[in-house]
């Protein structure tokens, strides 16, 4: 981590404070190009927009996938006030961003809030392979 990284992390922390001041969970993120130019900034808006997916990391990953070609996306760094959750990590992976730098780790965040209940949904499968594979076969080749 460089002094430049710390500067952008501090901006992510400012965005987190802005999210909280605006009535949302306290998380913020920004996307920075290889030359140190800020490409986009986001705050968590999951409460004010009544959208459980409105995490700043996910919003930036969607923006990058829409607005940047793969090479440009790979050259960016996301700075975020907290380590991305599983949902956002999946979106970041799919968006092709090259690097993520976070301030609070998931474990550190866990020490600052009540324990969440363990995941309660049940997954069942696989099933109906011969039917389910039909729309997929040949798509990726």
Residue with tokens 């990726």: 140
- Which residues here bind Zn ion, judged by CB under 5 A? 55, 85, 88
- Indicate the residue among 43 and 55 with the shorter CB distance to Zn ion: 55
112 Cα distance to chain centroid: 20
Nearest Cα to 9, choosing from 84, 105, 110, 101?
101
- Indicate the residue among 93 and 132 with the shorter CB distance to Zn ion: 93
95 Cα distance to chain centroid: 10
57 is catalytic: yes
Q: Per the residue annotation, which of 49, 57, 67, 124 is the catalytic one? A: 57
- Indicate the residue among 72 and 85 with the shorter CB distance to Zn ion: 85
Structure tokens given for 44:
């968590």
- Torsion, Cα of 46, 26, 18, 67 (10° steps): -60
Minimum distance from residue 57 beta carbon to Zn ion (Å): 5
- Indicate the residue among 50 and 128 with the shorter CB distance to Zn ion: 50
Structure tokens given for 32:
């920075």
Minimum distance from residue 53 beta carbon to Zn ion (Å): 8
Sheet with 99-104: strands ordered across: 38-43, 28-32, 77-82, 99-104
Minimum distance from residue 48 beta carbon to Zn ion (Å): 16
Structure tokens given for 12:
């992510």
Minimum distance from residue 44 beta carbon to Zn ion (Å): 8
Positions annotated as catalytic residues are 57
């Amino acid at each position: 981590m460089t002094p430049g990284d710390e500067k952008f992390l501090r901006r992510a922390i400012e965005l987190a404070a802005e999210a909280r001041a605006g009535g949302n969970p306290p998380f913020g993120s920004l996307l920075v190009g290889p030359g140190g130019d800020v490409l986009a900034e986001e705050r968590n808006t999951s409460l004010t927009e009544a959208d459980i997916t409105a995490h700043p990391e996910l919003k930036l990953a969607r923006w990058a996938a829409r607005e940047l070609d793969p090479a440009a996306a790979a050259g960016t760094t996301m700075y975020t006030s907290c380590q991305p959750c599983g949902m956002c990590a999946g979106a970041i992976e799919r968006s092709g961003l090259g690097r993520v730098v976070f301030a609070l780790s998931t474990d550190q965040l866990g020490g600052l809030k009540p324990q969440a209940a363990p995941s309660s949904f049940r997954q069942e499968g696989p099933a109906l392979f011969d039917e389910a594979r039909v729309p997929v076969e040949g798509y990726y080749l």
